[in-house]
Amino acid sequence: MIFRHYIGISPLALWFGIINGIIWGGIIWLIIRFNVIPGLGKGMNFIGAKVFPPVRTFFKKPQYRYSTILAVVVIIVLVVLWRVGVFSPPPPLQFSGVSPANTSVGGAYTANLTVTGGKKPYTLSMGSNNLPAGLTLDPAASAISGSPTTTGSYIISIQVNDNSKKITTVTKDYSIVVGAQGDFIICSTFLPAGDKGKAYSSKIVAQGGAGLYLWGIGAGQLPPGLVLSATGEITGVPTARGDFTFSIVADDSVRSTPNFTQSYTVHIN
């Protein structure tokens, strides 16, 4: 496995190539030895007399011999480095992972932001849209934290720069809701990706209200093979690949509070 990873071929393929080389070399030698193709032997004798002697003379000089060995070693090292991806550009700079959750006024809030790709270290800053009052961006921790003081629906813009020679800048907009203290809301704003044919499970978290939560599908549909349970958990085995957009509608069965709708997009590999 290690040999194949660094060199690019398996040991079996290498031995197959060596054996083929020996066989075809023997066939060519027989053709020349018994003059199967008229004139080929004379041509090979000419090459042996005019080409190989100068080559042998060249390698008799130590500086030429050692320079050639060094060149071969450098070429081998460069091939190995190329195979392991040293010369490949880094993956594109992007935000990934969980989106900031919805929350309520007065509660402690922390949302970690995950950045991948590009060249570290990253520099995070606010984009064109500000955070809700009471929340701040901590660039060093790559997190949003604080205690929101104003209700409403917000679009927040987070910008990241990497440390490459040609600095790359990526901006991502997140949508969060800040409800009144005690109000019923769906906190989860993100659902992880899944794989076709593999078991999937993700729990949607809600807070507030006073009774049993009722869950349902609003617009769109879940990925084929997945179902939404009475406890707000999406489970099953996906049967199709793609991006599936839908909304979850939840209600508090005891209090006469408005229901809450949250949109999601799930990618199935």
Distance CA 44, CA 39 (A): 9
Q: Cα(142)–Cα(160) distance, rounded to whole angstroms? A: 10
Q: Specify whether 148 is located in the same domain as 195.
A: no
Q: Annotate the chain with three-state secondary structure.
A: CHHHHHHCCCHHHHHHHHHHHHHHHHHHHHHHHCCCCCCHHHHHHHHHHHCHHHHHHHHHCHHHHHHHHHHHHHHHHHHHHHHCCCCCCCCCCEEECCCCCCEECCCCEEEECEEECCCCCCEEEECCCCCCCCEEEECCCCEEEECCCCCEEEEEEEEEECCCCCCCEEEEEEEEEEECCCCCEECCCCCCCECCCCCEEEECCEECCCCCEEEEEEEECCCCCEEECCCCEEEECCCCCEEEEEEEEEEECCCCCCCEEEEEEEEEC
If one counts every other C-beta atom within 10 angstroms of the C-beta of residue 93, the result is: 19
Instruction: Look over the chain and give the mean of its residue pLDDT values, rounded to a whole number.
Output: 84
pLDDT in tens, 136-189: 999 989 999 999 999 999 999 999 998 887 778 899 999 999 999 888 899 999
Amino acid in position 220: G
Note whether 252 and 263 are same-domain residues.
yes
Is residue 129 scored above 60 in pLDDT? yes
The total number of structural domains that make up the chain: 3
CATH code for position 256? 2.60.40.10
Query: CB–CB of 106/94 below 8 Å?
Result: no
Average pLDDT over residues 216-243: 94
133 and 75 assigned to the same domain: no
What's the domain range around 234? Answer: 184-269
More confident residue, 89 or 240: 240
Give me the percent of the chain exceeding a pLDDT of 90: 46
Residue scoring higher pLDDT (192 or 253): 192
1: pLDDT confidence band, cut at 50, 70 and 90? very low
Predicted local confidence at residue 208, as pLDDT? 85
The Cα–Cα gap between 180 and 196 comes to 39
Which residues pair with residue 194 across a beta bridge?
A: 268
Q: Identify the domain boundary among 135, 150, 181.
A: 181
Point out the least confidently predicted range of 7-16, 152-161, 220-229. Answer: 7-16
Q: Once rounded to an integer, what is the mean pLDDT over residues 200-224?
A: 90
Is residue 233 within 8 A of residue 203, CB to CB? The reply is: yes
Residue 223 has pLDDT above 70, yes or no: yes
Q: Of 181, 216, 245, which residue constitutes the final position of a domain?
A: 181
Let me know whether 97 and 170 are in one domain: yes
Strand ordering across the sheet containing 233-236: 200-203, 233-236, 226-228
| pLDDT tens, position by position, 51-90 | 666 666 766 777 777 888 888 899 888 888 877 767 777 7
Token pair of 238 as six digits: 């996906």
Q: Are residues 11 and 34 in the same domain?
A: yes
Which range (126-130, 170-174, 200-204, 248-252) has the least confidence?
126-130
| 166/188 same-domain check | no
Let me know whether 95 and 175 are in one domain. Answer: yes
Query: Considering 181, 210, 228, which residue would you say is the last residue of a domain?
Result: 181
pLDDT of residue 49: 62
Same domain for 8 and 75, yes or no, is yes
| Residue 20 pLDDT exceeds 90 | no
Distance, in Å, from the CA atom of 25 to the CA atom of 27, rounded to the nearest integer, reads 5
- What pLDDT score was predicted for residue 124? 93
Please give the pLDDT value at position 178.
Answer: 95
Pair 164, 195 in one domain = no
